[in-house]
Amino acid sequence: MSKSLEDFYAEMCQSYQNETQNPVYGDSDTGIKLRAVAGQLHAIDTAIDFLERQMSADTAAGSALDNFASERGIKRRAGAKASGSVTFTLPSALWYSLQIPAGTFCTTAAQNGPRLLTTQDVSIEIGSLSADAPVEAAAEGYAGNLFAGDITQIIDTPLAGLMVENTQNTEGGADSESDESLRGRILESYKSLSVSYNSGFYRDLALSFEGVGTCYVSPRARGRGTVDIYVGGHASPLPPETIAAIQARIDTEKEINVDAHVIGCTVTDTEIKLTVVNKEGYNFEPVAAAVKEAVKSYLQTHKLGESLRVAAITAAAFNAEGVHNVKVVLPAADVWFGFDSIPRFTSITVTDGYN
């Protein structure tokens, strides 16, 4: 770890005093010069410390970590924007056609909620009350994955009284792979060489394809010399052409005697229901909103082949501020979706445990 500017300055002042037997005052000419030199030494030391950290996969970050990944044939998973549709509704019919241009921003009622924008021009025709429009999140990330009914606000509305709502979930949003996640895959590749007779080879290859959000490799799934590779998108199935492309790539790079089969995952719609008791001094509504966000954050970490654990949902809910007690109503027990199914969480419902 690099030394602070004050450490350099103190050492230089002490050294100067030892050599000259004269004290150094901060506002003296000598003190000012030593502080300037200390600043330069601190900058150099910080740069050296940064470069040292970038020289190892254990500590590198950003593009330097990407370079280590490329040496192992690994690629950082790209983020994705959520998409879906919204319905614009008028309180009463107009005598003219209302144009709602592409690029109209919508968001949730939450402060600093995610923004989504319409991707094509739509209009509410004369005598009609509503029109549907496709939307896409303004930024990549899980934050754009919203439940039905979450989108309720229009930014810079073209007409007072115009309302908006999403009747279905917006889906497909994903964060770019974090440094820590990428670092874990790199370090794991050092432990197990990524060659065509181990799981790492197939997993890394599948995850390198655009749109692939999750992968599970089942060696010897159909006997000796076989391997099944389950792949899915971001809480959504992959298009057939992507699955075919992964299969074709694996067929060209696997060993001759290996029977490798790529299987696209289906989606299982899943509801989460909890009852929550808030602590004394807290209102239920903000506590419920915090619980919903905490549970949503946990669900985003769910991996293919893992069980959805009631205890983990409970622990996530307890992390929200103001929670006194939690009970998970749905699911009633741990759920394992298999290797070929991705849970799609359609709603998180939080009810008051006092009522």
Distance CA 201, CA 217 (A): 10
H helices within 55-161, ranges in order? 62-71
Across all residues in the chain, what is the average pLDDT? 89
Whole-number Å distance between alpha carbons of 305 and 285: 34
Angle at 45 between CA 41 and CA 49, to 5 degrees: 175
For residues 246-261, average pLDDT:
91
Instruction: Look at residue 118 and give its three-state secondary structure.
Output: strand
> Measured between alpha carbons, how far is 63 from 249 in angstroms, rounded to an integer?
26
Q: Give the per-residue pLDDT at 193.
A: 56
**pTM (global) more than 0.75:** no
Beta strands of 37-179 (E only): which ranges? 83-89, 98-100, 105-108, 116-118, 122-124, 130-137, 151-155, 163-165
pLDDT of residue 49: 86
Radius of gyration of the chain (CA): 28
Tell me the backbone φ, ψ of residue 39, rounded to 5 degrees: -60, -40
Q: Does domain 192-264 have CATH number 3.30.300?
A: yes
Cis peptide before 343 (omega within 30 of 0): no
User: What distance in Å separates the CA atoms of residue 238 and residue 268, rounded to the nearest whole number?
Assistant: 14
Residue 248, pLDDT score? 95
Residue 349 amino acid letter: T
* Both structure tokens of 247: 């299969």
Q: What is the pLDDT of residue 192?
A: 63
Q: Would you state the pLDDT for residue 71?
A: 86
